[in-house]
């Protein structure tokens, strides 16, 4: 590993331990040239599916893009960054469980609205209004009514898995 201080390529590991709830390994290293210490993290690289946009183009999965959209919907709401990251983590888990090479942007949007509906109704309406393209107040009212009905049946909110033929 290249030393961030002197650029030398040789080091030794002086300490190794689990980190981030077992999701990573934290290693303290010491450069064999300048004797300075630095920390590295080792984690599994997960292969997320590509996102199929409305026009049919493919886009690499971007955690930060989803996080920004959720954060915008949650703006000025009593929702912590940790809660937002937990929402993104749950969406990523669902996406990986699908085991597909490609997932539609509609599926991602639906997964986000499902998570936001359970987190905060105002954030949900904000996100849904953009995601579903509400054009007038009537659409907001219809969504609010539907939201009241589906609270009695939250399982109806779950995004439906893409068809097997959508695998690519």
Can you give the pLDDT at residue 47? 87
What pTM was computed for the model?
0.64
pLDDT digits (tens, 9 = 90+) for 94-128: 999 999 999 999 999 999 999 999 999 999 999 98
Handedness of CA 96, 98, 103, 106 (dihedral sign): negative
pLDDT digits (tens, 9 = 90+) for 55-95: 999 999 999 999 999 999 999 999 999 999 999 999 999 99
Q: CA-CA distance, 16 to 1, in Å (whole number)?
A: 15
| Among the ranges given (14-18, 57-61, 115-119, 142-146), the one the predictor scored with the smallest mean pLDDT | 142-146
Map residue 76 onto helix, strand or coil. Answer: coil
Give the residue extent of every domain in the chain. 11-43, 50-167
Helix axes 121-131, 137-150, angle to 10 degrees: 130
Question: For residue 159, is pLDDT > 80?
Answer: no
């Amino acid at each position: 590993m290249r030393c961030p201080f002197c650029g030398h390529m040789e080091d030794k590991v002086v300490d190794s331990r689990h980190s981030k709830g077992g999701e990573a390994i934290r290693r303290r290293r010491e450069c064999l040239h300048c004797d300075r210490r630095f920390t590295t993290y080792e984690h599994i690289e997960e292969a997320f599916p590509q996102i199929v946009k409305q026009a049919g183009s493919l886009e690499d999965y971007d955690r930060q893009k989803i996080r920004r959209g959720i954060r915008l919907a949650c703006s000025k709401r009593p929702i912590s960054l940790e809660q937002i990251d937990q929402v993104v983590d749950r969406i990523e888990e669902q996406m990986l469980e699908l085991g597909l090479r490609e997932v539609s942007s509609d599926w991602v949007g639906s997964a986000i609205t499902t998570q936001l509906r359970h987190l905060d109704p105002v954030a949900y309406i904000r996100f849904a209004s953009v995601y579903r393209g509400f054009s007038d107040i009537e659409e907001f009212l219809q969504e609010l009514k539907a939201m009241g009905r589906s609270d009695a049946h939250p399982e109806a909110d779950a995004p439906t898995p893409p068809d097997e033929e959508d695998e690519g």
